[in-house]
Chains A and B, each alone.
Chain A
Amino acid sequence: MTSSTLPTGLADATRDEASLRRFLHGLPGVDQVGVEQRAAGLATRSIKKAAKLWAIDTAISMVDLTTLEGADTRGKVQALAAKARRPDPDRPDTPRVAAVCVYPDLAATAVQAVAGSGIEVASVATAFPSGRSARSIKLADVALAVDSGAGEVDMVIDRGAFLEGRYGEVFEEIQEIKAACGEAHLKVILETGELATYDNVRRASWLALLAGGDFIKTSTGKVSPAATLPVTHVMLQAVRDWYTTTGELRGVKPAGGIRTTKDAIRYLVAVHEVAGEEWLTPRLFRFGASSLLNDLLLQRRTQLDGHYSGPDYLTLD
């Protein structure tokens, strides 16, 4: 179960099931009242004019433009990819998004559609969204995504195993999937709405970081509550603490339920003040969202034109 690249103290933490449990339960607790109060306090920072425009452009460049429906078609994915390349066709200076996020069977279509644009293709593998399948099937799912050319894999953890306290199993599964990813970046979805407590969110974050996840991600978007500010605060503290301990920078991705520019800016303020300035880049922070992009574009136009325009001036997807 050991991981060779970790500093000694942390490598010991993953020696066996018992030491992993001791380590995770030895992490400082999270006080619910305190973290929610801090999140609410930071949400009142006033971001206007130049700062707002900067925030909007930064947020656009961090979007993982997502479609995860049973009814997804190649046509839908191609439209999404076109939107990702040129989010606002009337304004070519609009930054492109970070990635498009699709199911594994559509990864090949997406790869083809974004070719040459620098946009990544992210694919949700591992029996997304429930994660309830055999390890072999999850690995096959990952293989399909990676073989199709996806540069990023979004996996879900086995929440059942986590809640039963079988941390070692969750750890090993993440490690195996990380290995199966090869060069692809691994985002580990904790599905924080099902983990229920902030203490669990912190433990799951560390578990994912210990096992080699490049990103920790809040939610699949299929469970309510999805991303919340306080949960994201806890995860940002985890990557900051990870950096302090190991010197490695890992990313955070809130996903699901972030629909407005105002919301997105609140997350950016949290990134800035909780984790630090270094994280204000698409390499280390992403928004998993589908409808957020259009609100960002609308607000961007408002900032530039000085008046509101309507949703009909933007493309649907």
Chain B
Amino acid sequence: MPAFDYAPAPESRDIANLKPSYRPFIGGEFVPGSGEPLKTLNPATEEVLAEVGTASAADVDTAVQAARKAYERTWSKMPGAERAKYIFRIARLIQERSRELAVLESLDNGKPIKESRDADVPTAAAHFFYHAGWADKLDYAGLGPDPRPLGVAGQIIPWNFPLLMLAWKIAPALATGNTVVLKPAETTPLTALVFAEICQQAELPPGVVNIVPGAGDTGAEIVNHPDVDKIAFTGSTEVGKLIQRSVAGTRKKLTLELGGKAANVVFDDAPLDQAVEGIVNGIFYNQGHVCCAGSRLLAQESVVDELLAKLRYRVSTLRLGDPLDKNTDIGAINSAEQLAKIRELAESGEAEGAQRWTSSCPVPDRGFFFAPTVFSGVQQSMRIAREEIFGPVLSVLTFRTPDEAVAKANNTPYGLSAGIWTEKGSRILWMANQLRAGVVWANTFNRFDPAAPFGGYQESGFGREGGRTGLEAYLHG
């Protein structure tokens, strides 16, 4: 009997309405941008997708001025209920253009279409809907009697969830009456520039949202601009630290959402098959390009062998390949640099004595791909247990008692998320209290909701995004 070969079911790339060139969006218009243009690649094929104009220091200054003008003349003066109408309109337009956005996101980022279509884009729309609802209710949010916006928010977002991170940043900023200068990541600027079109379609007053593509230097211009009131950054801990240094001593408010090395703790009484699903979802979702990924599996010694056997079987069924194919579970690594980093860290794992197991799934010849990999016999002292890999690589450690699980889970400079798998409710509550992490998931992983605040401890950053708490980051109490 032949094998059950699924038929390829690729989304048409025409749906993305890909244009040969994209330009910065400043003061309600697409402008040439005087920075050095950059080329954005399809990481699954290494083909150039489009040329993107970038913002120079002068362009950033123009964008900040446009945002300031829009802030002072219209946006902050507008009643909350009016602002809400614009934000609702944006949310609906994201839904209307969801297929286009999903395909474009998968082309530019390399993530599987089923994730961009079923998670990224709908959740981005949900963030705008949720925050639109807050715009006229800020007085009742418990954030002081007369909460006022901060002014111009400079926002810098990463390449792992380009549109979703944009939504996390822009939706609360607009709802609270701030205006925005946002820099998308160098390798994934396209959906942000389509979002700029959506702002035009929604007839958002010019200057309320400005999108300035560019690399780190553009980001630095935003961070150091004297007329920016707030910086919101999601990205690497390294860059976060630089930003914090630059902002120190200024009046600028700052929130940072940085790296992670989350522990996913599986007790011997856990629902093992679903724990395996949660582990897979925790580390292989979005190719492991997730700051809150469950990259350290802490398994109780009494079940580790059974759990690993089930996990390896399950991982071997993951389908890696064309991100636009609906059957693809794992897409492409976003860039050659990132792939090199993942390889280097995986090699260090082998060199330090961990046992490497890699799925035998076929890997395409072209494009940046990394087959899902599980390291067992990992010790706390190894680099793969301490450093964020940001790729589809899981490190498996073991523990004997709940106290040891807590100690190992917390033994990291990061603290963004954690997972607990057990059928014992009292243990879930006890663990959740002990774990130093911004989010603790119980018997699930990587669940997001606009109403649930998200953020970190220690080197994972500070401040919260989402929920009522997330509004605080954009308001004077």
- A positions within 8 Å CB-CB of B: 28-31, 33-35, 37-38, 44-52, 54-55, 58, 234, 237, 240, 244, 268-269, 272-273, 276-277, 280-281
Contact = CB atoms under 8 A, between A and B. Distances in A.
A31 B309 contact: no
Contact of B273 (A28, A44, A244, A268): A28
B155 to A, nearest CB: 32
B contact patch SS: loop
Contact of B277 (A34, A276, A280): A34
Contacts of B444: 33-34
A38 B274 contact: yes
A127 B398 CA distance: 50
Given A46-B7, A48-B7, 15 more contacts: A29-B423, A33-B443, A35-B273, A44-B326, A45-B327, A46-B326, A48-B9, A50-B7, A51-B7, A58-B1, A240-B313, A272-B4, A276-B313, A277-B4, A281-B1
A33 B275 CA distance: 11
Nearest to A61: B1
A268 B4 contact: yes
A231 B313 CA distance: 20
A146 B273 CA distance: 38
Contacts of A237: 273
B317 A51 contact: no
A34 B443 contact: yes
Given A34-B277, A54-B2, A46 B9 contact: yes
Contact of B7 (A29, A33, A52, A268): A52
Question: Which of A28, A30, A281 counts the most B-chain CB atoms under 10 A from its CB?
Answer: A28
Question: Which of A31, A48, A51, A273 counts the most B-chain CB atoms under 10 A from its CB?
Answer: A31
Interface stretch (B74-82, B264-272, B411-419): B264-272
A31 B273 CA distance: 8
A contact patch SS: helix
A259 B427 CA distance: 43
26 contacts: A28-B272, A29-B269, A29-B271, A30-B273, A31-B443, A33-B274, A33-B443, A34-B443, A35-B274, A38-B277, A44-B114, A44-B326, A45-B6, A45-B326, A45-B327, A46-B7, A46-B9, A48-B9, A49-B7, A50-B7, A51-B6, A54-B2, A54-B4, A58-B4, A272-B4, A280-B1
Q: Give the interface size bracket for B toward A.
A: 20 to 34
Contacts of A30: 271, 273-274
A18 B327 CA distance: 46
A273 B317 contact: yes
Nearest to A36: B274
List 5 A-B pairs, minimum CB-CB distance, nearest first.
Answer: A34-B274, A46-B9, A31-B274, A31-B271, A28-B272
A46 B6 contact: yes
B443 A37 contact: no
A277 B269 CA distance: 29
B174 to A, nearest CB: 32
A216 B326 CA distance: 32
A47 B4 CA distance: 10
B359 to A, nearest CB: 14
Question: Which of A268, A272, A281 counts the most B-chain CB atoms under 10 A from its CB?
Answer: A272
A280 B4 contact: yes
Contacts of B273: 28, 30, 34-35, 234, 237
Nearest to B270: A28
B5 interface: yes
B177 interface: no
Interface in B304-358: 309, 313, 317, 326-327
A59 to B, nearest CB: 11
A195 to B, nearest CB: 17
Contacts of A50: 5, 7
B3 interface: yes
B443 A47 contact: no
A33 B278 CA distance: 11
B37 to A, nearest CB: 37
Contacts of A280: 1, 4
Interface in B289-303: none
B274 A47 contact: no
Contacts of B272: 28
A234 B274 CA distance: 10
A28 B3 CA distance: 31
A293 to B, nearest CB: 20
Contacts of A51: 4-7
Nearest to B317: A273
Given A33-B443, A34-B444, A51-B7, A46 B277 contact: no
Given A29-B269, A46-B326, A37 B277 contact: yes
